[in-house]
Amino acid sequence: MRDAANGPGLREHMFLFSRFLRSPRTVGALTASSRALAQAMVVDLNLAAPVRVVELGPGTGAFTGAIVDRLGPDTRFLAVDIDPVFCQAVRKRWPQVECVNASAEDLESLVVEREMLPVDHIVSGLPFVSLPQTMTRLVLQGVSKALRIGGTFTTFQYLHGYRLPSAVAFRRSMTEKMGVAPHVRLVLRNLPPAIVLTWKKK
């Protein structure tokens, strides 16, 4: 696999595609995210300070690499993925990352066990539009409870699905929980183009 700074390589795309075929609802993407999307997901996060950051659904590590590149020496970083193959790949590529093979539904208990409350930043690559509503509701509850006041939650939606009822419902639910509308950033240099959404907990 190529370094995150150079963007995803063919092996990453094929690896992700094979996992998508096995579990299309939880993987949710056919190709790895671009370097441009990864940078847009973390550009506003100050990770050099001693903060606590969690990534939900690292997958092949497109966002993980961008986060690792910005980490300070005292920053704690926890990645959570339901797919053991993805977790194994992340641990092998970035030994400094604590990647847990678990469901994002268990976010609150995972950070409590590791004494990481409250969390400063949560970055998510989860395909909320295709996840069961019950799972999405539990994940968002965990995010809301785990984040500190002023903490951020960043995720993305593909441009072609931005107006889908499930996508609109997700944004509305997250806005209600965070108490503020998201900051929106369009990323055209991704296949397909995507919209990055960042909420700052009020």
Helix or strand run (H / E) with residue 168: helix 165-178
Assign residue 73 the CATH number of its domain. Answer: 3.40.50.150
pLDDT band at 31 (very low <50, low <70, confident <90, very high): low
Say how many C-beta atoms besides its own lie within 10 A of residue 48's C-beta: 12
Say how many C-beta atoms besides its own lie within 10 A of residue 2's C-beta: 14
| CB-based contact 120:53 (threshold 8 Å) | yes
The residue-averaged pLDDT of 123-149 equals 95
Domain count, the chain: 1
Report which of residues 131 and 142 the model is more confident about: 142
Work out the percent of the chain whose per-residue pLDDT is above 70.
Answer: 85
Query: Rounded mean pLDDT of the chain?
Result: 88
Half-sphere exposure of 154 (CA within 13 A, CB side): 28
The residue-averaged pLDDT of 67-73 equals 95
Choice among 5-14, 123-132, 163-172 with the minimum mean pLDDT = 5-14
pLDDT (tens digit, 9 = 90+) per residue, 6-18? Answer: 445 445 544 444 4
What is the Cα–Cα distance from 190 to 202, expressed in whole angstroms?
30
What does the pLDDT read at residue 24?
A: 47
What does pTM read for this prediction? 0.85
Domain that holds residue 76: 4-200
What does the pLDDT read at residue 145?
A: 96
The residue-averaged pLDDT of 165-172 equals 95
What does the pLDDT read at residue 32?
A: 75
Instruction: Label residue 64 exposed, middle or buried (CB < 10 Å: 0-12, 13-18, 19+).
Output: buried
What does the pLDDT read at residue 130?
A: 86
What is the Cα–Cα distance from 28 to 164, expressed in whole angstroms?
15
What does the pLDDT read at residue 33?
A: 85
| In the predicted structure, residue 26 carries a pLDDT above the cut 80 | no
